Amino acid sequence: MKSISRLAVAVLACLLIGAAAPKPMPADPVTLETVLKKMDATGAAFRSTQAQFEWDRYERVIDEVDDIEFGNIYYRRSGPDIEMMAEITKPEKKYVLFSHGKIQM
């Protein structure tokens, strides 16, 4: 009986010591400045991306969504500019293009 209680005390002590041990600090503390620098570095290498989307048009006066459109959106870097195209596939097919500072439908 004494050996079981000594074993329980030893296990409990190990658990408490392990829980109280200090956690290692990350090499680089995460700050707003480090996040912004990482975003700038990643943004310099940005070329293109795409995603599927769902646009809900909400009418506050009647408090409901009256139109939902589905499609794909594409972004790409063209020299110093970013271009965007949205291809709406449902309910009817249409395109929105942003290029050279202009939006075209």
**DSSP bridge pairs for 77:** 82
Question: In angstroms, rounded to a whole number, what is the distance separating the alpha carbons of residues 70 and 92?
Answer: 9
Domain segments of the chain as ranges: 29-104
Tally of residues, the chain: 105
The tens digit of pLDDT for each residue in 20-67 reads 445 555 566 788 988 888 888 887 787 888 888 888 888 888 888 778
Residues 6 or more apart whose Cβ sits within 8 Å of residue 98: 83, 84, 85, 104
Q: H or E stretch including 74? A: strand 64-78
Q: Name the CA dihedral angle for 31, 33, 36, 40, rounded to a multiple of 10 degrees.
A: -130
Q: What pTM was computed for the model?
A: 0.51
